[in-house]
């Protein structure tokens, strides 16, 4: 079966004190849960707190990852964080191509594949994000845009195992807006992505790769999203920052594994 992800993306939120508080509370709230190896509980804090978060979640099932990586290997690139640095923290996953990075920070067709390959060279698994804007959806361009983004990112990206890559479908109009894609809208695009993966890689890869939905996932809507055959978890912003909500999301994930 495919791995189910309850993945939190904290974006530019939380101070050191808030990070400490979250992890001490979440550890208590999941300790008595019957967790499964098939459920991946992931959080990407801001860069300054990754080491602290790793330390605080040692010997727990919580996986800590990064929100972004530099397209450069090392050197005079003020403010950047390299794949090598992430590797030195033993990170297993890094988000790439999030729509906020595409919109505000220059993630484009040219540098996204470079980032993906740098991560690959360090054995860090990307959580690669794709998604259409509201305008593109209204213009009935959604499928075209998603396929284009998959091609731009993955056309030269070798993949031996479905475990080495996660894809998140995040319609831009649903992120942080409280508007969720309907489960049917999300399922339709997840199916499109899975078909693309079958053509580009293989049936085996496409059947085993985890595809996440992101965009205003909350405890109240995650169950019906996870009930869709091709949705294997959520990439969650707002609701991942609250211990109670994140615990509820984990409980929903557990029902699917």
The single residue among 97, 153, 215, 253 that binds ligand PGA, judged by CB under 6 A, is 215
Q: Does 130 bind ligand PGA (CB under 6 A)?
A: no
The single residue among 70, 149, 187, 216 that binds ligand PGA, judged by CB under 6 A, is 216
* 175 versus 197: smaller Cβ distance to ligand PGA: 175
Distance (Å, whole) CA 177 – CA 155 = 31
The single residue among 45, 233, 238, 253 that binds ligand PGA, judged by CB under 6 A, is 238
Distance (Å, whole) CA 240 – CA 249 = 8
Q: Report in angstroms how near the CB of residue 76 gets to ligand PGA at its nearest.
A: 31
* 154 versus 235: smaller Cβ distance to ligand PGA: 235
Binding-residue total with ligand PGA (CB under 6 A): 12
Position of tokens 């403010």?
79
Q: Is 58 exposed, middle or buried (0-12, 13-18, 19+ CB in 10 A)?
A: exposed
Q: Report in angstroms how near the CB of residue 124 gets to ligand PGA at its nearest.
A: 18
* Spatial CA neighbour of 119 closest among 180, 164, 186: 164
Secondary structure of the chain as H, E, C letters: CCCEEEEEECCCCCCHHHHHHHHHHHHHHHCCCCCCCCEEEEEECCHHHHHHHHHHCCCCCEEECECCCCCCCCCCCCCCCCHHHHHHCCCCEEEECCHHHHHHCCCCCCCHHHHHHHHHHCCCEEEEEECCCHHHHHCCCHHHHHHHHHHHHHCCCCCCCHHHCEEEECCHHHCCCCCCCCHHHHHHHHHHHHHHHHHHCCHHHHHHCEEEEECCCCHHHHHHHHCCCCCCEEEECHHHHCHHHHHHHHHHHHHHC
208 assigned to active site:
no
Of the candidate spans 64-72, 140-148, 150-158, 231-239, the one that interacts with ligand PGA by CB under 6 A turns out to be 231-239
Of the candidate spans 39-47, 130-138, 188-196, 236-244, the one that interacts with ligand PGA by CB under 6 A turns out to be 236-244
98 assigned to active site:
yes
- Binders of ligand PGA among residues 155 to 214 (CB under 6 A) are 170, 175-176, 214
**Which candidate in 71, 98, 100, 190 is catalytic?**
98
The single residue among 4, 9, 146, 231 that binds ligand PGA, judged by CB under 6 A, is 9
The single residue among 217, 225, 231, 254 that binds ligand PGA, judged by CB under 6 A, is 217
The single residue among 93, 237, 246, 249 that binds ligand PGA, judged by CB under 6 A, is 237
Q: Does 236 bind ligand PGA (CB under 6 A)?
A: yes
Residue whose Cβ sits closest to ligand PGA: 237
**Which candidate in 132, 136, 170, 190 is catalytic?**
170
Contact residues: ligand PGA, CB under 6 A: 9, 170, 175-176, 214-217, 235-238
Positions annotated as catalytic residues are 98, 170
């Amino acid at each position: 079966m495919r791995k189910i992800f309850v993945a939190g993306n904290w974006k530019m939120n939380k101070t050191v004190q808030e990070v400490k508080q979250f992890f001490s509370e979440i550890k208590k709230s999941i300790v008595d849960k019957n967790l499964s190896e098939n459920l991946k509980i992931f959080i990407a804090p801001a860069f300054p707190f990754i080491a602290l978060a790793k330390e605080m979640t040692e010997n727990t099932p919580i996986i800590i990852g990064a929100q972004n990586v530099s397209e450069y290997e090392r050197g005079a690139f003020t403010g950047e964080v390299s794949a090598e640095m992430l590797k030195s923290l033993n990170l297993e996953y890094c988000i790439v191509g999030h729509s906020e990075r595409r919109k505000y920070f220059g993630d484009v067709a040219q540098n996204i594949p470079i980032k993906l390959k740098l991560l690959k060279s360090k054995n860090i698994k990307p959580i690669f994000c794709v998604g259409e804007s509201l305008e593109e959806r209204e213009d009935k361009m959604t499928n075209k845009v998603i396929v284009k983004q998959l091609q731009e990112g993955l056309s030269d990206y070798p993949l031996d195992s479905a475990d080495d890559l996660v894809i998140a479908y995040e319609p831009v109009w649903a992120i942080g807006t409280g508007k969720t894609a309907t489960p049917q809208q999300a399922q339709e695009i997840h199916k499109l992505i899975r078909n693309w993966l079958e053509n580009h890689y293989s049936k085996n890869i496409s059947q085993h790769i985890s595809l996440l939905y992101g965009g205003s996932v909350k405890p109240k809507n995650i169950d019906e999203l996870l009930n869709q055959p091709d949705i294997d978890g959520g990439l969650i912003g707002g609701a991942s920052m609250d211990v109670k909500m994140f615990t509820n999301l984990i409980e929903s994930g557990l029902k699917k594994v």
